[in-house]
Homo-oligomer: A and B are copies of this chain.
Amino acid sequence: MEEEKPNTDSNREKSREKSKQQLLDAVGKLLRTKGYAALKVNDIAATAGLDKKLIYRYFGSTDQLLDDYVLSQDFWSNIKGDKVPHVITDGGQGFVKDMLHEQFDTVFNNKELQKVLLWRLSQQRSSLKRLADEQELTGEQLFESIIHPHFQEKTATFRAISAILVSGLYYLNMTTAHNGSIFCGLDMASTEGRNEIKKALSFLIDQTYENL
């Protein structure tokens, strides 16, 4: 029977925690390098250099290990809303622009995040759903504290614009990672191509703030 142990500092406890961590790390490594489809018990155990039996003993099931992994990571730490400036005089225009640019680069540079986005589109999994829900919550705070005061009854349209832009960033980066990197004639793997996207983002946000 698996029971919660008091967190003594015994060798056994350390050993157990080390093994658990090795297994969680193996999940991350496989996810980054081969994607969610490669997350199979045998491979995870092999990658961790441990016996798969331990997965069942420590996590109950492969599914639980995967959920534990997802919940243990903070994929959005770079993006989260805790960077909201305290004083906002432009209705959030500068902040939103910066956030989108940063999000675009973060997803580009974070292979694991890309794989998670794809995973989330491909499989039903409660922990991934929860990720999405948490993101929605963070976004909601933003809309309520910054966007709504500025755009008032136009907030819904601003939401739609945000939805399109954010989704666009996700998809473009996923496409780049896997297929050829040309989209609408722009090379999404090149600095020039990506700068065009950033220019476009800035333009669209500026237009929205000026004319919505």
Point out residues on A near B: beta carbons under 8 Å: 35, 37, 118, 120-124, 128-129, 132-133, 136, 139-140, 143, 156-157, 159-172, 174-175, 178-180, 182-186, 188, 196-197, 199-201, 203-204, 207-208, 211-212
Q: Determine the distance from Cα of A16 to Cα of B33 in the docked complex, in whole angstroms.
A: 42
Q: Determine the distance from Cα of A120 to Cα of B170 in the docked complex, in whole angstroms.
A: 15
Is chain A's interface secondary structure helix, strand, loop, or mixed overall?
Answer: helix
Question: Which residue of chain B lies nearest to A172 when distances are taken between CB atoms in the complex?
Answer: B167
Interface centre among A35, A156, A188 (most CB of B within 10 A): A156
Q: A120-B179, A122-B37 are in contact. Are A165 and B163 (CB under 8 A)?
A: no
Q: What's the number of copies of this chain in the assembled complex?
A: 2
Interface centre among A165, A170, A185, A186 (most CB of B within 10 A): A185
Docked-complex contact A179 and B121, CB < 8 angstroms: yes
Instruction: List 4 A-B pairs, minimum CB-CB distance, nearest first.
Output: A160-B200, A167-B171, A168-B168, A164-B168
User: Contact partner of A156 among B122, B168, B196, CB < 8 A?
Assistant: B196
- Can you sample 17 A-B contacts with CB below 8 Å? A121-B121, A121-B178, A122-B122, A122-B178, A129-B180, A133-B180, A143-B184, A159-B184, A160-B196, A160-B199, A161-B204, A165-B168, A166-B183, A167-B169, A170-B171, A204-B207, A204-B208
A120 contact set on B, CB distance < 8 A: 178-179
Q: A168-B168, A182-B136, A185-B143 are in contact. Are A121 and B174 (CB under 8 A)?
A: yes
A136 contact set on B, CB distance < 8 A: 182-185
A203 contact set on B, CB distance < 8 A: 157, 161, 208, 212
User: Contact partner of A196 among B129, B140, B157, B188, CB < 8 A?
Assistant: B157
